[in-house]
């Protein structure tokens, strides 16, 4: 585990160095917005497209990966719904827990960590897992938030389709799979340009995570009990259920370690960006992002060690 921690430590060093710079006001307040826009609309779409376009894609070959990760995300949504009902959460907290349950940091942190431990060869698998998660999040996940917020329920399906068709990450997945499936070779000058942008993505997104942590306020100690419990659920319990479910069903996946590691990611920044639109609890989301990211310094090496043993 110490060896694994040493491998991923540089990633967290960048995150917390950026957090300190933000905390002590050595970085402008608009940096996180600009860098996040670059990562979301340019950097990650290019990285995903570039990775998928270089590998021939086959639905039959990837069926196990698609089905297992789809089941995980759908079951997580159902569990979030059930937990919210059992605990009788009020509407705002119900929506907050529901979306945070599934919105792991599988792109901004998951892809860099998988690359760090497995090399660039893991990129097609990592990006496909991200695509699977995004599809279900922007259909069932965001669809439910739209349904719960809108008086005119007929607009929900329209909004789901709009979210899918305008999401740059999903568009890059579709284009990458098309290019890869038809074995189209991109011009060398275009391929090199895409590789240059791809190389900038990892440090950029790690800095974005750090800047968000640096902006977050600590709050009262009593406010953190529910955050601790939720973080343990997200980082340990859900991935454990996924792991033993796959084992029980006898699904043989060479990509299983990548799937479990992605499932064990801390909470992403995106729910915070959705907070105003869907009337979510911003304090709960911000603290959950901070604490789950800090705890993942221990939980992720734990999972990586188990899966590689």
Residue 294, pLDDT above cutoff 80: yes
State the CATH architecture for 2-308: Up-down Bundle (1.20)
Confidence of residue 264 (pLDDT cuts 50, 70, 90): very high
Q: What is the mean pLDDT of residues 250-267?
A: 82
C-alpha distances (whole Å) from 25 to each of 130, 194, 214, 217, 273 are 33, 33, 9, 14, 22
pLDDT over 90 percentage in the chain: 27
> What's residue 158's pLDDT?
77
> How buried is residue 89: exposed, middle or buried, by Cβ count under 10 Å (0-12/13-18/19+)?
middle
Nearest to 98 by CA among 147, 60, 151, 58: 147
> What's residue 223's pLDDT?
75
**Global pTM?**
0.83
> What's residue 84's pLDDT?
87
Compute the CA torsion angle 273, 297, 197, 272 (nearest 10 deg): 0
pLDDT over 70 percentage in the chain: 94
Residue 252, pLDDT above cutoff 70: no
Give the chain's mean pLDDT: 86
Residue 62: other Cβ atoms inside 10 A? 16
**Cα 106 → chain centroid:** 3
Q: Which residues contact 245 (CB under 8 A, 6 or more apart)?
A: 71, 72
Q: What is the mean pLDDT of residues 145-165?
A: 74
> What's residue 300's pLDDT?
93
Distance between CA atoms of residues 130 and 52, nearest Å: 12
Q: What is the pLDDT of residues 3-48, one digit of tens each?
A: 777 878 889 999 999 999 888 877 766 888 888 889 888 998 998 8
Q: What is the mean pLDDT of residues 270-293?
A: 88
> CB of 131 within 8 A of CB of 169?
yes
Q: What is the pLDDT of residues 159-214, one digit of tens each?
A: 778 777 888 888 888 898 889 888 888 899 999 999 999 999 899 999 999 988 88
> How buried is residue 181: exposed, middle or buried, by Cβ count under 10 Å (0-12/13-18/19+)?
middle
Residue spans per domain, the chain:
2-308
Better-predicted residue by pLDDT, 165 or 298: 298
């Amino acid at each position: 585990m110490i060896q694994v921690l040493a491998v991923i430590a540089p990633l967290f060093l960048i995150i917390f160095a950026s957090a300190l710079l933000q905390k002590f006001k050595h970085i402008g307040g608009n940096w996180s917005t600009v860098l996040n826009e670059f990562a979301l609309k340019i950097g990650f779409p290019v990285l995903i497209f570039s990775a998928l376009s270089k590998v021939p894609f086959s639905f039959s070959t990837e069926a196990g990966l698609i089905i297992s990760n789809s089941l995980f995300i759908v079951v997580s949504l159902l569990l979030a719904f059930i937990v919210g009902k059992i605990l009788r959460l009020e509407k705002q907290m119900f929506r907050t827990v529901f979306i945070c349950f599934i919105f792991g940091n599988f792109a901004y942190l998951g892809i860099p960590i998988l690359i760090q431990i497995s090399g660039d060869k893991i990129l097609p698998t990592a990006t496909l897992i991200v695509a699977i998660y995004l599809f279900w999040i922007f259909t069932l996940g965001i669809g439910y938030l739209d349904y719960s917020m809108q008086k005119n329920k007929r607009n929900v399906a329209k909004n789901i389709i709009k979210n899918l068709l305008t999401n740059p990450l999903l568009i890059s997945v579709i284009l990458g799979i098309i290019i890869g499936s038809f074995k189209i070779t991109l011009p060398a000058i275009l391929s090199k340009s895409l590789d240059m942008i791809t190389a900038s993505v990892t440090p950029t997104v790690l800095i974005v995570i750090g800047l968000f942590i640096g902006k977050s306020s600590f709050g009262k100690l009593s406010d953190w009990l529910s955050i601790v419990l939720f973080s343990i659920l997200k980082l340990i319990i859900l991935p454990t259920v996924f792991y033993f479910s796959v084992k029980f069903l006898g699904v043989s996946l060479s990509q299983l370690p990548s799937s479990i590691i992605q499932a064990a990611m801390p909470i992403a920044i995106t729910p915070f960006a959705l907070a105003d639109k869907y009337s979510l609890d911003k304090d709960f989301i911000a603290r959950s992002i901070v604490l789950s990211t800090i705890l993942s310094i221990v939980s992720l090496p734990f999972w990586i060690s188990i899966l590689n043993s």
